[in-house]
């Protein structure tokens, strides 16, 4: 396929110190859960990115010493020479596809846990550990500082031996000593490493110089730096960040710039648009002559070209957009299951496959089966393909989720071996009459209306009345009269989004959850603080730590989950967000007719996605893809993936 010349600039090579990147696509460091524990899987995942065309492929943060252990989280590790082979494996596989390999060295200081190493944590000044562990980090002596510089230099030399082309000094996200020395709230020293900005920058300057001296002949030296923490004088702010970049301007070979903390840097499409970091990082290139990489949830090549031509960035950086777990179900399965993001084994038979339901699971199953070469028939009850994605993508902030649907529909429309039947609400008799050898049921799920969920093992009295609504009702335009008590026993995104829907419709909302906080699971998606801020800005009453005992004609009777103390809240309606049930009536009907399958030519009926076990969209996509991958493939044992047998031998 010929490339549009407007985008040629994205594929120009760029020099970074002693090495050259083949284009401007730069996978910045990001966590993945594999790290030192699963080196083969980690190497294969990074290799897939290199094969896909990324010019630079980076590790996650890499611990350089046991006193910076961040267990239970699994990252890369270069404590000593024993850790070299695992990372050398990654370099070898990344280099095989013509990409540069980068490593982000770090010591997490007071953001360490040391649960595994049991070492005492260190910090610029005495302070408690950041993430709630009931311990403190001790203030570093000058000898500790010399040791830290030595650990970092030794790790850089090991990285060079492993084969890395770019070595990072990490000063971002409030997660590294290099940044902690910059922060006045963490650095209260009165010696040459504290006080004035020039003194606080001293550690970062020394680390850059040490690293360049150690490995700069063969490796580029990069600095990952957060230009804004949004904490005012307590954090690194733009005015100080500008001074820091001026002080160090051309010392590193590359600047990788972002914002802090992590929840600000890794914002989802619900809370930030594409290129949202430009106002905070776009000035860096005006100060340094060295190349600059930045991030901002880039997805449009026009946005990328615009930032390069306007002198904002030299490289298009990406972490989450380079992963796309929902769009790419092969992420993390490259080694352990042998899945490739673009290649898939051809069909092993001429079996016809009927897929019932065109939600995320059905669309992905049909797409991957079609790619394999099977004759696929996709039946959807409605006119619009997409299932739950259609409804959720219309909710506040979730429009980008439609990409899950749109890409798959586009691919299916290119496949002559896939037939799509819209507005076909087929039943068990229709399935038997169709007579496909394999039947895939992807009929989705629905929200429960009875109150059963994590906090209630049975129906809540009064939930069987007409005053109780579910997210399904709201997503179909049935908005209750207010005031509305929203009962969230789900703890993820849907409760807060439904609250936004109700407030946009002018309803008073009382948000009740048995949990200690609203949307607690969004901690794992970096949305937690944004959700709290959004809900409070909408002016709703939030009641945490309370369960619903019963619903009556005037409202709901609540009880504190700790004290049992009861209270009554007056409301006109309840929105119950508790649990979901599979839409399994077709499966039940087909199982009742299983004696007729052989006559109809049906070999197997398999539920996938939400009609099998309700989950997230990512789970549905994975389930559909897995079915397509495994059809007609041999089954080997109970464990369907490879596990690491032993550490690679030292070389």
In a domain, 636, yes or no: no
In a domain, 57, yes or no: yes
In a domain, 550, yes or no: yes
Residues 406 and 456 placed together within one structural domain of the fold = no
Residues 64 and 113 placed together within one structural domain of the fold = yes
In a domain, 216, yes or no: yes
Q: Provide mean pLDDT across the span 273-285.
A: 94
510: which 2 tokens?
A: 């009382």
Q: What is the reported pLDDT for 320?
A: 78
Q: Provide mean pLDDT across the span 375-391.
A: 98
Q: In whole angstroms, give the CA distance from residue 222 to residue 307.
A: 20
Q: How do 604-607 and 438-441 pair as beta strands?
A: parallel
For 132, residues 6+ apart whose C-beta sits below 8 A from its C-beta are: none
Q: What is the reported pLDDT for 524?
A: 92
Residue 477 maps to which CATH number? Answer: 3.50.50.60
538: which 2 tokens?
A: 């909408």
Query: What phi-psi label fits residue 115: left (phi over 0), alpha (psi between -120 and 50 degrees) or beta?
Result: alpha
Instruction: Give the DSSP H or E segment for 14.
Output: strand 14-16
Which three-class secondary structure state does DSSP give residue 439? strand
Q: Is the pLDDT reported for residue 442 higher than 60?
A: yes
Active-site residue flag, 170: yes
In a domain, 374, yes or no: yes
Confidence band of 649 (pLDDT split at 50, 70, 90): low
pLDDT digits (tens, 9 = 90+) for 568-580: 999 999 999 999 9
Task: Please state the domain count of the chain.
Answer: 3
In a domain, 165, yes or no: yes
- Among 558, 579, 600, identify where a domain stops: 579
pLDDT digits (tens, 9 = 90+) for 24-50: 999 999 999 999 999 999 999 999 999
For 456, residues 6+ apart whose C-beta sits below 8 A from its C-beta are: 489, 547, 548, 578
Tokens 């959004």 sit on residue: 534
Active-site residue flag, 627: no
In a domain, 70, yes or no: yes
Q: In whole angstroms, give the CA distance from residue 159 to residue 157.
A: 5
Residues 309 and 384 placed together within one structural domain of the fold = no
Q: In whole angstroms, give the CA distance from residue 439 to residue 432.
A: 10
Q: What is the reported pLDDT for 265?
A: 87
Q: What is the reported pLDDT for 465?
A: 85
- Among 544, 579, 614, identify where a domain stops: 579
Active-site option among 210, 253, 256, 265 = 265
Residue 612 maps to which CATH number? Answer: 3.40.50.720
pLDDT digits (tens, 9 = 90+) for 285-332: 999 999 999 999 999 999 999 999 999 999 999 987 777 678 999 999
Q: What is the reported pLDDT for 398?
A: 96
Q: Is the pLDDT reported for residue 393 higher than 70?
A: yes
Residues 137 and 250 placed together within one structural domain of the fold = yes
Residues 471 and 429 placed together within one structural domain of the fold = no
Full residue range of the structural domain in which residue 114 is found: 7-322
In a domain, 330, yes or no: no
**CA quadruple 584, 589, 592, 594: dihedral, nearest 10:** -90
Q: What is the reported pLDDT for 120?
A: 97
Confidence band of 272 (pLDDT split at 50, 70, 90): very high
Q: Is the pLDDT reported for residue 472 higher than 80?
A: yes
pLDDT digits (tens, 9 = 90+) for 150-167: 999 999 999 999 999 999
**pTM score of the predicted model:** 0.94
- Among 563, 579, 595, identify where a domain stops: 579
Burial label for 571, CB within 10 Å (0-12, 13-18, 19+), is buried
Sign of CA dihedral 488, 493, 496, 498: negative
Q: What is the reported pLDDT for 135?
A: 94
pLDDT digits (tens, 9 = 90+) for 121-143: 999 999 999 988 899 999 999 99
- Determine contact, residues 585/356, Cβ cutoff 8 Å: no
Work out the mean pLDDT of the chain and round it to a whole number: 96
CA–CA distance from 630 to each of 344, 345, 379, 561, 635 (Å)? 10, 10, 21, 45, 8
Q: Provide mean pLDDT across the span 374-391.
A: 98
Q: What is the reported pLDDT for 645?
A: 57
Q: In whole angstroms, give the CA distance from residue 44 to residue 40.
A: 6
Active-site residue flag, 168: no
Residues 608 and 478 placed together within one structural domain of the fold = no
pLDDT digits (tens, 9 = 90+) for 596-636: 999 999 999 999 999 999 999 999 999 999 999 999 999 88
Residue 23 maps to which CATH number? Answer: 3.20.20.70
Confidence band of 443 (pLDDT split at 50, 70, 90): very high
Active-site option among 36, 62, 69, 170 = 170
Active-site option among 42, 173, 180, 612 = 173
Residues 453 and 439 placed together within one structural domain of the fold = no
Confidence band of 484 (pLDDT split at 50, 70, 90): very high
Residues 439 and 359 placed together within one structural domain of the fold = yes
Q: Provide mean pLDDT across the span 257-261.
A: 93
Residues 366 and 498 placed together within one structural domain of the fold = no
Q: In whole angstroms, give the CA distance from residue 30 to residue 548.
A: 41
Residues 566 and 588 placed together within one structural domain of the fold = no
Residues 536 and 427 placed together within one structural domain of the fold = no
Residues 509 and 397 placed together within one structural domain of the fold = no
Instruction: Give the DSSP H or E segment for 550.
Output: strand 546-551
């Amino acid at each position: 396929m010929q490339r549009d010349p407007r985008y040629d600039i994205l594929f120009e090579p760029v020099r970074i110190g002693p090495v050259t990147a083949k284009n401007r696509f730069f996978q910045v460091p990001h966590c993945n859960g594999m790290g030192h524990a699963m080196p083969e899987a980690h190497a294969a995942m990074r290799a897939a990115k290199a094969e896909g065309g990324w010019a630079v492929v980076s590790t996650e943060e890499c611990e350089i010493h046991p006193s910076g252990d961040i267990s239970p989280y699994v990252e890369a590790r270069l404590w000593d020479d024993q850790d070299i082979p695992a990372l050398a494996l990654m370099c070898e596989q990344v280099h095989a596809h013509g990409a540069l390999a980068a490593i982000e060295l770090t010591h997490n200081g007071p953001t360490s846990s040391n649960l595994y190493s049991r070492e005492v944590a260190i910090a610029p000044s005495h302070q408690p550990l950041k993430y709630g562990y009931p311990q403190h980090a001790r203030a570093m002596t000058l000898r500790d500082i010399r040791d830290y510089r030595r650990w970092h230099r030794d790790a850089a030399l090991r990285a060079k031996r492993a084969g890395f082309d770019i070595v990072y000094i990490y000063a971002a996200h409030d997660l590294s000593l290099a940044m902690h020395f910059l922060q006045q709230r963490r650095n209260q020293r009165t010696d040459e490493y504290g006080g004035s900005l020039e003194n606080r920058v001293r550690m970062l300057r020394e680390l850059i110089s040490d690293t360049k001296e150690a490995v700069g002949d063969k490796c580029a030296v990069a600095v990952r730096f957060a230009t804004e923490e949004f904490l005012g004088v307590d954090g690194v702010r733009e005015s100080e960040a500008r001074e820091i970049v001026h002080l160090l301007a051309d010392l590193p070979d590359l600047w990788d710039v972002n914002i802090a903390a992590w929840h600000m840097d890794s914002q989802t499409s619900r809370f930030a648009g594409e290129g949202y970091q430009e106002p905070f990082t776009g000035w860096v290139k005006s100060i340094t002559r060295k190349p600059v990489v930045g991030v901002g949830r880039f997805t449009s090549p026009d946005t990328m070209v615009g930032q390069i031509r306007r002198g904002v960035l030299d490289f298009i950086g990406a972490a989450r957009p380079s992963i796309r777990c929902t769009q790419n179900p092969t992420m993390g399965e490259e080694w352990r299951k042998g899945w490739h993001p673009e290649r898939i084994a051809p069909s092993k038979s001429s079996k016809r496959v009927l897929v019932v339901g065109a939600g995320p699971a059905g669309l992905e199953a049909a797409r991957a089966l079609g790619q394999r070469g099977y004759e696929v028939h996709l039946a959807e009850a409605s006119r619009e393909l997409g299932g739950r994605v259609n409804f959720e993508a219309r909710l506040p902030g979730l429009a980008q989720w439609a990409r899950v649907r749109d890409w798959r529909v586009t691919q299916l429309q290119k496949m002559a071996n896939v037939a799509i039947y819209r507005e076909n609400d087929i039943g068990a008799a229709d399935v038997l009459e169709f007579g496909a050898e394999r039947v895939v049921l992807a009929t989705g799920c629905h929200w429960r209306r009875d109150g059963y969920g994590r906090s209630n093992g049975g129906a809540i009295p009064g939930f069987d009345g007409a005053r109780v609504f579910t997210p399904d009702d709201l997503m179909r335009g049935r908005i209750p009269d207010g005031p509305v008590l929203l009962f969230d026993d789900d703890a993820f995104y849907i409760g807060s989004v439904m609250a936004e829907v109700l407030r946009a419709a002018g309803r008073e909302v009382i948000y009740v959850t048995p949990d200690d906080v609203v949307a607690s699971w969004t901690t794992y998606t970096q949305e937690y603080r944004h959700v709290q801020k959004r809900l409070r800005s909408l002016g709703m009453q939030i009641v945490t730590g309370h369960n619903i005992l019963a619903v009556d004609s005037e409202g709901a009777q609540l009880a504190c989950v700790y004290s049992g103390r009861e209270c009554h809240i007056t409301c006109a309606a309840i929105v119950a967000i508790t649990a979901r049930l599979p839409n399994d009536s077709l499966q039940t009907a087909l199982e009742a007719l299983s004696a007729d399958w052989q006559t109809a030519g049906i070999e197997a009926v398999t539920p996938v996605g939400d009609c099998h076990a309700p989950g997230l969209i990512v789970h549905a996509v994975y389930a559909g893809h897995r079915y397509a991958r495994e059809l007609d493939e041999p089954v080997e044992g109970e464990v369907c993936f490879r596990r690491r047998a032993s550490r690679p031998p030292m070389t």
